Structure 1
């Protein structure tokens, strides 16, 4: 590649980089009174609810996602491929579609909700929406982490009589821990930023289902300063998670 071609490639890449950076810079530099924005009555209930629901959804995702990823790590055949595809499908499904699907499944007249009672438009619905959209990120990362564990270690452990559960707890989990933590960080970040599925399935009820993204949406109609302040908080949290995730992934490799 000639020098001129290198400059052209760098310039094209720079255009995209600038486009991605400018809105984030504008979010910060145009802030007039961050403290006043954070003093909005929308902020504290939404922040509390976001922390509560995302931690609950993360716990569910980790507790159920580790066994699923462990089961799929060495599975072969069409059934395993179908299951893995279905598990990862919510990553590419639009959030609004996810919300409609949850409502049709667990709503008052839904496929399941009609028989079990509907959690729609409650705090539980927020957790369910977050689990639905965030779980694939953890499972995908956990799958990769478990598949990087040297299979020979597992074979040797089983040869010496270790049970599958003992192999998982004493060998696979410690070796896969950096990848699992990175997946948990990605999953939590996705849950924290969830908007569409939550709005469709849980609604936007202050103190009940109004998480930070929904509070930002509400504040945009009447208090731009509060919306901007909450946006900065979410960007700061996302940046911290990204830095931590990068560090964990470096350790994993």
Structure 2
């Protein structure tokens, strides 16, 4: 049976026990092997992947994004719900709030952003007008409302290289450019998912205010602690979204390459 729904757990989201009948799976890809877990939730097969591995041993700039997305593609995944801890640049988006981002600004520097490197792969210029699937975002927003969680149906995610946190001057610049949130993992993950014709949505959880806005220095432990504090909310949100998600639904994301031109 194909696995059409996947959850990618970010910082602080390491527990796949929203599922039953969990088994470990190793998927071989041209970019390396990927370890993940597959289980069931209310009769739906679901893949769970730790983006940073279970012991948070892989920093954001060294994640093998192409291997991860390829592994999910091989399993048959069509819908990805990805969690991410973020800092807020927007006073309306406070610690503990969920944001279902609709746009990104990319400030990463050293990552593999595409499967199409020329040669046998060809050259593909994929449309990213709406990088995050509107239908998945609506399901998540509906789920958050039903559970009484404070959420925002849109926001602009500034993706930074990491693993360091940003300077106060960088945060000021990102705010001037229209950024609402800052994180380190959404790009290139969302881009590769689009090239793979998958629906992708980010469940961004605000853990702190960004540098120069926060009254204190930033620490990774603070981020982990807040994610753990709200971990049950994240699990409930993911479970409700999976319950309402039709794994066989059709979406424009699933035909993202139909109209692209090879160069």
**In proportion to residue count, which structure has more helix?**
1
| Fold similarity call, TM over 0.5 | no
Work out which structure has the larger RCO, using CA pairs closer than 8 Å and 6 or more positions apart in sequence. Answer: 1
**In proportion to residue count, which structure has more strand?**
2
Larger radius of gyration: 1
Task: With the length of structure 2 as denominator, give the TM-score of the two structures.
Answer: 0.26
